[in-house]
Structure 1
Amino acid sequence: MPMAMPLVQSMKKPLPILLSLLGLGILVVGIFAYRSAYGPSRQSELDKYTVMATESPLEVEIKASGTVQPQQTVNISPKAPGRLVRLFVEQGDVVKKGDRIAVMENQEFFADGKQSEARLREAIARYEQARIRIPAEIDQLRAQVNQGRTRIAQAQSQLASAQARLEQAQSRIPSNIDQLRAQVASAESRLKLAENRRNRNQSLLQEGAITQDQYDELSNEFLNAQAGLFEAQSRLNNARTTASPEVGQIEQEIVQLQGAIAEAEQGVAAQMAQLRERQGTAETELATLQAAASQAEAQLMRSKIAYEDTFIVAPFDGIITQKFATVGSFVTPTTSASSTASATSTSIVALAQGLEVVARVPEVDISALRPGQMVDIVADAFPNETFTGRVIRVAPEAIVENNVTSFEVTIGLATGQEQLRSKMNVDVVFKGDRLANALTVPTVAIVTVGGRTGVMVPDAEDKPQFRPVTIGLVLDDKTQILRGLEPKERVFIDLPEDSQDALNPPEDSTESDN
């Protein structure tokens, strides 16, 4: 009992203390009850519908689908329609540039070649004969001209001798015939003048400077002068015959010589004209024969080319991917190839060289691609193997199909040339730059409200509120945020049922935004 005294004494005023303890207990219980009722449940619900925007390294990867295609492909056809007589390759065969692939029917081309070769030999023979014959003909005409000139010179020499003898004989004849001699001299002078004029104008006639009529008039004057001389000489001879038979005989000889000279000069003039004409036609004749030989040579070359074109060879190294014709098929080349081998075809085989991948990349991702960029390639036929390649080129023009805009990207294979086959389907992953601290949110958090792109963030009451943002790369389930959001801010990835109207803003707010 002694120990209870202090406690009893301390409890002399117990009511205020009890009330204070009771109030404190109620407050603690209320706070605990509030936290139990509202705090954890609201936080748990926010965690259920939201995630935090985080900063982390981001590997830029762009995925697309593509097809394996040859780097170079061609449907091989003959240049001219014909029947296929031999085929040396089968589908899948590897050939080198220049390897013989097929032979078309070519007997007709071979015969044309032989005929063209014979025509060429004949044309060359005619040309070579003309090269020998024509100079010989010209030399013969030139010799005839020289012979005529020689005869004229001889006749002129005989004429000079006769005239000298005549002068000696006349010195013994009485002077009463001097008048007739003067007439003869005058006739000779006129003849000489007419002869000179005719000779001078002969070259002008050949050059076309005067007409034939003008030349004939001069020739007529020459002949008249000859006749006048002959008449004068005849009178003189008659006069001298009675006086001296010797003088008459010499004068007759002179007249004959003068006639022979005139005739020889006319013959030489005609021969010279013939020589000049032959010299002029010789060049033309040789050129014509040479052109004929060249034409025959060209025809032979065409025949050889047509014959050689019947032997179909590979234009480059590659593999035979398709066979469109069989032996005996008639091949008529067109711009397209037959799908199967048949009796009538438009091509013989298809030849392909090398492999590459052509992928279609959406327009939004094309800015992240560049030549030389590494690419991972997975073929449907080899799902457990990854091949590698590099971007060769990005098409300069887009392809629009079903309102979807994409660009063709050509990828060169670094590995897989032996395993992959043309027309295989593949999935490609373009390897881009590595972003050190990229702010990202789940792609499902990106929404569009009133034509603007943004995210839904909690407001003061943890209700969804739209916030516009600027997005960057979209990589599968992650989207890069460039502006409008801070790290560790929460964004809604799903909306509570009572908050669906947050995606439908009032009309006035939309109009004010515009």
Structure 2
Amino acid sequence: MQLPLIGKVRQPAPWVIALLTVGIIGAGATTAVIVRQQSAAPDISTLTETVQSQPLTVRITASGTVQPFQTVNLSPKTTGILAELYVEQGDRVRQGQIIARMESDSVRAEMAQAQARVAQSEARLAELRAGSRPQEIAQRRAAVEQAEARVVEAQARLDRENDRVERNRILLQEGAISQDEFDAILRDAATAQATLEQNRAGVREAEQQLALTRSGSRAEEIAAAEAELAEAQGRLQAVEVQMEDTIIRAPFDGIVTQKYATEGAFVTPTTSASEASSATSTAIVAVASGLEVLAEVPEVDINAIQPGQTVEVVADAYPDQVFQGRVRLVAPEAVVEQNVTSFQVRVDLTSGQDKLLSGMNVDLTFLGDRLDNALTVPTVAIVTKDGETGVLVPNDENQAEFRPVQLGTAVGDQTQVLEGLEPGERVFIDLPPDQKQEWIQQEQ
């Protein structure tokens, strides 16, 4: 530390040298003694300060920037044309509020088709569950009666053909007809028999259909119809999700900080939508919520920073106002820039949100532990000699004497002394001109 000079150090004037040369002694022996005594013990009350024991609050300073507590760039989930935009920059929005709509004509068409399929499946299932109508049962009964009538008719034909076979068998024996003629008659009888069996099968089938109609739909048919309806409903839900994706909503309460797109713009999804600093043209708007301060604290001070710690914040825009905050988070990993290691500290603002704006530069003071009996000296009293830190204290003759000390924290214009001084001792904050010149020469 280089102490400021009080006045200027001048060379003796020529006339003083001349007087000394001729040996003028006008003051006498007594006066010489008094002068020597005054030179030996000068008055240093205005040049020193007393070492005090006083309460001291550790204060750590850092710089930072105001930024949103939560921010996001909103973009659509699917590529398309921005049809409607309902907000402007600076508008306040609520969570879930519609910000914008994408063009959705094709999705609306798919939704109409899906709704029609659901309605069709519901109608079929309802029909199966309701069972057969009386008209259907009557139709099935009539079919059975018709089949039975065909059986009676076929039986009568078969009876006639059998009688014909017996008559012609006698004629064949008498030689009245040939064998070929008799074989043809046998074939007609066989055809009549086959027709009868076919009609009897028709009766059985008609009776089964009548029984099914009377008992209603089968469980398998109802289950199949239910599965068909579930599939149609699932498709409708998928289309409804696509329709919802064309609507851009605010994810939280906040304010629109940026507007990137206008109606009619072609926008696409972007993976950088969650980063407010990545102002991409594919985003529609940026929404931010709350304010916090992001501070850079030097590595040597980070051990004194704890979550919940009180912080004083002064913005360049409001130099005469002190806003309050609390430490929310201390980053677990350091940031190294230009070989300087620091840690990011996030501070929640408890006052000043109505005045501070995102991007403002601020100075922060972290209020640390309170020391009830801390020895302090003025910071200007601290000097360095041969690379060692210390203070200048008066000796028995009130001359400046270097004493090494161990320093603690510095708060304002006071610095804590851990070792090397006792309460009530005095330290130089300035030196008499003669001692100052001597100290400077020693340092040189």
**TM-score, length of structure 2 as denominator length:** 0.64
Aligned to 2:71: 73
Gap regions ≥5 residues in structure 1: 1-24, 144-263, 502-514
Tell me, in whole angstroms, the C-alpha distance in 2 between the residues paired with 1:398 and 1:363: 8
Q: Distance in 1 between matches of 2:329 and 2:60?
A: 16
CA offsets 1:9-53 (integer angstroms, 9 cap, x no match): xxxxxxxxxxxxxxxx9774453242245443xx76x986x7654
Distance 1:397 1:79, change over 3 A: same
1:345 match: secondary structure? coil
Distance across 1 between alignment mates of 2:322 and 2:394: 47
Counterpart of 1:383 in structure 2 is 319
Task: Identify the residue that residue 497 of structure 1 maps to in structure 2.
Answer: 440
Q: How does 1:61-140 map to 2 (within 5 A)?
A: 61-131=59-129
Alpha carbons 2:394, 2:428 under 8 Å: kept: no
In structure 2, what residue type is equivalent to 1:499? Q
| Equivalent in the alignment of 2:33 | 31
Q: Deviations over 1:375-434 (max 9, x none)?
A: 332222222333223333333333332333333333222322222211111222233454
Higher helix share goes to which structure? 1
- For 2:405 and 2:353, the matched residues in 1 are separated by 48
Using the alignment, how far apart are the partners of 1:283 and 1:68 within structure 2? 68
1:478-497 aligned at under 5 Å gives the runs 478-489=414-425, 496-497=439-440
Aligned residue number for residue 390 of structure 2: 455
- Distance in 2 between residues matched to 1:355 and 1:109, nearest whole Å: 39
Judge conservation of contact 1:78–1:310 (CA < 8 Å) in 2.
Answer: yes
The alignment yields a C-alpha RMSD, in angstroms, of 4.7
Q: Distance in 1 between matches of 2:410 and 2:74?
A: 45
Amino acid at match of 1:384: D
Q: Deviations over 1:326-366 (max 9, x none)?
A: 11111112122599999x93211111112222222223333
Aligned counterpart, 2:254: 318
Is the Cα contact below 8 Å between 1:457 and 1:465 reproduced in 2? yes
Residue 265 of structure 2: SS of its match in structure 1? strand
In the alignment, structure 1 residue 333 sits paired with structure 2 residue 269: yes
Say whether the 8 Å CA contact 1:332–1:345 is kept in structure 2.
Answer: no
User: Secondary structure of the equivalent of 1:419?
Assistant: coil
The residue number in structure 2 matching 1:291 is 227
Unaligned runs of at least 5 residues, structure 2: 1-26, 142-199, 431-435
Q: Is the 8 A contact 2:307 2:327 kept in 1?
A: yes
| 1:212 alignment counterpart | none
Out of 378, 385, 393, the position equivalent to 2:329 is: 393
Q: Secondary structure at the match of 1:361?
A: strand
Question: 313-322 vs 402-411, which deviates more?
Answer: 402-411
Cα distance 1:97–1:321, how it changes in 2: closer, same or farther (>3 A)? same
Aligned to 1:155: none
The amino acid that maps onto 2:104 is: N
Which of the numbers 244, 266, 287 marks the counterpart of 1:351?
287
Question: Across the two proteins, how many residue pairs are aligned to each other?
Answer: 348
CA distance in 2, matches of 1:479, 1:316: 47
**What aligned pairs does 1:112-511 form with structure 2 within 5 A after superposition?**
112-131=110-129, 285-336=221-272, 345-443=281-379, 445=382, 447=384, 454-457=389-392, 465=402, 467-469=404-406, 471-489=407-425, 496-500=439-443
Separation in 2, partners of 1:119, 1:304: 14
Once the two structures are overlaid, the 10-residue window that deviates more, 62-71 or 348-357, is 62-71
Offset, 1:307: 1.0
The alignment partner of 1:328 has SS state of coil
Aligned partner letter, 1:35: Q
1:327 alignment partner, SS class: coil
| Residue-by-residue CA offset, 1:75-132 (whole Å, 9 max, x unaligned) | 1122111111111110001112222211110111111111111122223334444556
Contact 2:324 2:351 in 1 (8 A): yes
Q: Give the letter for the 2:355 counterpart.
A: Q
Alpha-carbon offset, residue 457 of structure 1: 4.5
User: What is the distance in 2 between the residues matched to 1:340 and 1:443?
Assistant: 42
Q: Distance in 2 between matches of 1:101 and 1:430?
A: 40
Which of structures 1 and 2 has the bigger CA Rg? 1
Question: C-alpha distance in 2, partners of 1:359/1:285?
Answer: 70
Aligned to 1:54: 52
CA distance in 1, matches of 2:245, 2:68: 26
Stretch of structure 1 that moved more, 486-495 or 67-76: 486-495
Letter in 2 for 1:441: V
CA distance in 2, matches of 1:420, 1:456: 43
Task: Tell me, in whole angstroms, the C-alpha distance in 2 between the residues paired with 1:289 and 1:448.
Answer: 98
State the shift of 1:459 in Å.
9.2
Deviation of residue 485 (structure 1)?
A: 2.4
Work out whether residues 447 and 454 of structure 1, in 8 Å CA contact, stay in contact via their aligned partners in 2: yes
Three-state SS of the structure 1 residue aligned to 2:272 is coil
CA distance in 1, matches of 2:37, 2:295: 57
Aligned to 2:179: none
Superposition deviation, residue 446 in structure 1: 6.0
Distance change (3 Å), C-alpha of 1:352 and 1:384: same
Distance in structure 2 (CA, Å) of the matches to 1:367 and 1:341: 33
1:455–1:492: 8 Å Cα contact kept in structure 2? no
Shift of 1:491: 5.4
AA at the equivalent of 2:404? R
Q: How far does residue 369 in structure 1 lie from its aligned partner after superposition?
A: 3.7
Instruction: Give 2:37's aligned amino acid.
Output: R
CA contact (8 A) 1:97 1:315 kept: yes
In structure 1, the residue corresponding to 2:227 is in which secondary structure? Answer: helix
Q: Secondary structure at the match of 2:71?
A: strand
8 Å CA contact 1:323, 1:348 repeated in 2:
yes
* Normalised TM-score (structure 1): 0.56
Does structure 2 retain, via aligned residues, the 8 Å contact 1:454–1:468? yes
CA distance in 2, matches of 1:446, 1:99: 64
- 8 A contact 1:324–1:339 mirrored in 2: no
